[in-house]
Structure 1
Amino acid sequence: MQKTKIDQISPLEKWLKEKLQEIKKKTPNELEIDLSIFNIPNALQIIADSLDNWNQLYTLNISLPKNEVTTSEVENLVKSLQKYCCVSNLSLVFNCFQLNEDIMLSIGQAICSSQNIQSFNLALRNKQLDSQKITKFLEGMEVCTNLTQFTLNLSCNQFDQEGALKLADIFTLMPNLIQFKLLLTGCQIGSEGVSQLGKKIAECHNLQSFSLGLINNNINYDGASKFLNVLSKLSRLNSLNLNLTANKNLRYDCLMNIIYKLQRIVKFTSTNRQPYFLD
């Protein structure tokens, strides 16, 4: 006897569907689902399908760090996102190692289909992204002028210095950014890459809080120093978090000079505030 589609659904898939229905009843305009401790088959597809049943969404947070999702699932999610132009808070965290240029462009376009987005968190860690895919993503992000809070995790990708230069262009499209967190662990952007990042970030004149993770990026003192010098243009900056761990060309005395520069750049709002040097 052939099994029906319902019989083929795993207990975790069934639980997820019921959980989504429960969330919709409690918060009809907000969908926040964190599956950090679960590996549920077809999780992203189930979530994408459920979005078709929501009338209005203002907040959408999806966290699937342990779920290996497919390209088709990402495509379906993107199509669903484009239906909700009222989303103002968006967070996407998932694993997918097959993101091609078209998908990256679609993700950017889906994000910007909602011109009301003010807070955006995107984690594409270890997705084998190169400079061409980064460029496609940026093309889709061209109209995100209303963003005030932005977190972007591109750690362990392969876009190196060229990708960093293209990534830097995104900051000129976001003049209203107030809080920005950028994680680039192991991307090997180098000293020139971080210097170019600094120049573009310095154009975000409203920036008040900035966090940058540059673990293992082959950055020397000259590159780090140039980066900090251009940040001195940010007159409203009162919180600066910088992680330069595992950059072999930075000696202890260089790090001390960098910390001194941090103390001079950041305009602290109270006397007990100190620059926070990330572990």
Structure 2
Amino acid sequence: MMIQQKQKLLSLNQFLEWPSLSSETNLCIDANDLIIDDQAIFCLGSKLEKCTNLKTFELWLQGNQISAQNASVIGLAISKLTDISNMSLYFGVNKLGNKGTSHLISRLSNCINLSTLNLMLSGNKIGAQGVQGLQDSLEKCINLQNLIIDLGVNQIGNEGTSYIGSALTKCISLTNLSLYLNDTKISAIGASALSQALEKCFKLSILNIDFRANQIDDEGISDIGSALAKRTNLLNLTINFGYNLISDNGVSRFSQFLEKCINISKLTLSLRKNKIGALGASNLGLALAKQSNIYDFSIDLGFNSIGDQGVSGLWSGLSKCINISTLNVDLTHNEICDEGPQVLNSSLAKLSNLKNLQIYLGDNQIGDQSVSGLGFALQSCPQLQKLDLELYCNEFEDKSALAFGLALSKCPYLQIFTANLGSGLNQQTKFKIKANIFKIKKLIQQRISL
């Protein structure tokens, strides 16, 4: 049985001065946040070419001023690492541009034994032309199973996204994919191009896509949902549509497709700061009600307008997910009053396997009855061990806050408690709440903002 060599972690200077690295198989070079001149890059490339036995390699060059010419030198050295199977290149926040990115990507075609590739290129002023060659390179990497590409905060646009999609269709063995495309000027056209590629990634079981801060609308999210519905092997899905142009119509269509992803066990979905109301949230709840295998679920609907009706619909669906042990729900700033949280409270009582719970309800209009009721609802979660709660900027008074604290003190297995209840309570109330929290016998960590 082969024993994997422990990773050798070296600074840039240590690497350049190392007498012989030809026998190394697992190497990490950390040169983050340095001012590296052309001569040092040339020496790095020359030395790296000699590491012919490398199987696992990490190169950290983030926050430098790596130019297109520098990237070309490094790319040439990487092309000599023909036996490498696991490679991570961290080039975020540099000056690669289209030319440098193209040079770097083109050299990956020589690394035909790659099974894991992490390519981190955020903040490099990359346009569509910079990623055009990705298809030709990844086509040669027929063993690639795990792929992370971070192109966030660039200008690849719809054209660049289509190039990425074309590249993904060549990765026939891909099982684990993460794409960070936040703030890259993508609209529905780009999302549609990517969705067509996802339909052909037949072996995907883990998928993570970050679409934050683009111009994706209802058509874009619907196209992505349609592709996901065809990936029946998906077990773990993380998708971030925050800060886009999505309304109830788009979320409703996406939810219909989500219903068909019946094998998902871990789901993380962000729709923060879009144009979503009660209808979209309720339809999402209907889809969740059919996800019987989910044990870990996170949803961020902060800064929308779902109101009480949306909260009721969402939580009615969540109450059917009886296997959930970890639940994170962010409903900050959503025009919520008291009717919705009452459904939330009754739904919590049905989640008997819940161990980790995060609920953010800050900046709404929630009153006394809902806050005191939340405390009693949490008592009904017999296995609850970790609780993170935000209730700041609401309309409850001291009496209900006290009732909440008293009820929470009777959660027998609670170990970690974090809360922000706002600053409007009087000093005596704050003292009593903290005193009740300290009565929890198994509590080992607490942080309360009052």
Query: Which interval holds the TM-score relative to the shorter structure?
Result: 0.7 to 0.9
Aligned to 2:154: 39
Q: Contact 1:13–1:41 at 8 Å: present in 2 too?
A: no
Residue ranges of structure 2 left out of the alignment (5+ in a row): 1-96, 117-143, 386-412, 421-448
Residue ranges of structure 1 left out of the alignment (5+ in a row): 1-8
- Hey, what's the Cα distance between the residues in 1 that align with 2:312 and 2:416? 24
From the superposition, tell whether residues 19 and 205 of structure 1 become closer, same or farther in structure 2 (CA, over 3 Å): farther
- Hey, what's the Cα distance between the residues in 2 that align with 1:157 and 1:19? 40
Q: What are the Cα deviations for residues 95-150 of structure 1, in whole angstroms up to 9, with x where unaligned? A: 4314343x333211211211110100111112221111112212222311101000
Determine if the alignment matches structure 1 residue 260 to structure 2 residue 375. yes
Instruction: Report the CA distance between 1:262 and its aligned residue.
Output: 5.5
* RMSD (Å), alpha carbons: 2.7
Out of 214, 220, 231, the residue aligned to residue 331 of structure 2 is 214
Determine if the alignment matches structure 1 residue 99 to structure 2 residue 188. no
- The DSSP-based 3-state class of the residue aligned with 1:67 is coil
Out of 366, 380, 385, the residue aligned to residue 250 of structure 1 is 366
Determine if the alignment matches structure 1 residue 30 to structure 2 residue 30. no
Q: Contact 1:122–1:153 at 8 Å: present in 2 too?
A: yes
Structure of greater relative contact order (alpha carbons < 8 Å, 6+ residues apart): 1
- The DSSP-based 3-state class of the residue aligned with 1:91 is strand
Determine if the alignment matches structure 1 residue 273 to structure 2 residue 415. yes
From the superposition, tell whether residues 74 and 19 of structure 1 become closer, same or farther in structure 2 (CA, over 3 Å): farther
From the superposition, tell whether residues 133 and 264 of structure 1 become closer, same or farther in structure 2 (CA, over 3 Å): same
- The DSSP-based 3-state class of the residue aligned with 1:65 is coil
Q: Contact 2:151–2:180 at 8 Å: present in 1 too?
A: yes
Determine if the alignment matches structure 1 residue 10 to structure 2 residue 98. yes
Determine if the alignment matches structure 1 residue 145 to structure 2 residue 262. yes
User: What is the identity, as a one-letter code, of the residue corresponding to 1:267?
Assistant: P
Aligned to 2:348: 231
Aligned to 1:133: 250
Q: Contact 2:191–2:216 at 8 Å: present in 1 too?
A: no
User: What is the identity, as a one-letter code, of the residue corresponding to 2:415?
Assistant: R
Instruction: Report the CA distance between 1:179 and its aligned residue.
Output: 0.3
- Hey, what's the Cα distance between the residues in 2 that align with 1:215 and 1:24? 46
Aligned to 1:63: 180
- The DSSP-based 3-state class of the residue aligned with 2:164 is helix
Q: What are the Cα deviations for residues 217-241 of structure 1, in whole angstroms up to 9, with x where unaligned? A: 1112442232122221111111110
Instruction: Report the CA distance between 1:187 and its aligned residue.
Output: 1.1
From the superposition, tell whether residues 46 and 15 of structure 1 become closer, same or farther in structure 2 (CA, over 3 Å): farther
- Hey, what's the Cα distance between the residues in 2 that align with 1:177 and 1:106? 23
Q: Percent identity?
A: 22
Determine if the alignment matches structure 1 residue 195 to structure 2 residue 312. yes
Q: What are the Cα deviations for residues 14-36 of structure 1, in whole angstroms up to 9, with x where unaligned? A: 26735875698251101112334
- The TM-score, its normalising length taken from structure 2, stands at 0.54
From the superposition, tell whether residues 15 and 129 of structure 1 become closer, same or farther in structure 2 (CA, over 3 Å): farther
Aligned to 2:12: none
User: What is the identity, as a one-letter code, of the residue corresponding to 2:114?
Assistant: K
Q: Contact 2:288–2:318 at 8 Å: present in 1 too?
A: yes
Aligned to 2:33: none
Out of 298, 302, 305, the residue aligned to residue 185 of structure 1 is 302
Q: Contact 1:13–1:40 at 8 Å: present in 2 too?
A: no
User: What is the identity, as a one-letter code, of the residue corresponding to 1:30?
Assistant: N
Deviates more, 1:167-176 or 1:206-215: 167-176
Q: Contact 1:195–1:223 at 8 Å: present in 2 too?
A: yes
Within-5 A mapping of 1:47-58: 47-58=164-175
The structure having more radius of gyration, on CA atoms, is 2
Instruction: Report the CA distance between 1:154 and its aligned residue.
Output: 0.5
- Hey, what's the Cα distance between the residues in 1 that align with 2:372 and 2:363? 17
- Hey, what's the Cα distance between the residues in 2 that align with 1:23 and 1:174? 39
Q: What are the Cα deviations for residues 23-59 of structure 1, in whole angstroms up to 9, with x where unaligned? A: 98251101112334x4142443332222132121110
- Hey, what's the Cα distance between the residues in 1 that align with 2:373 and 2:106? 51
Within-5 A mapping of 1:86-125: 86-94=203-211, 95-101=213-219, 103-125=220-242
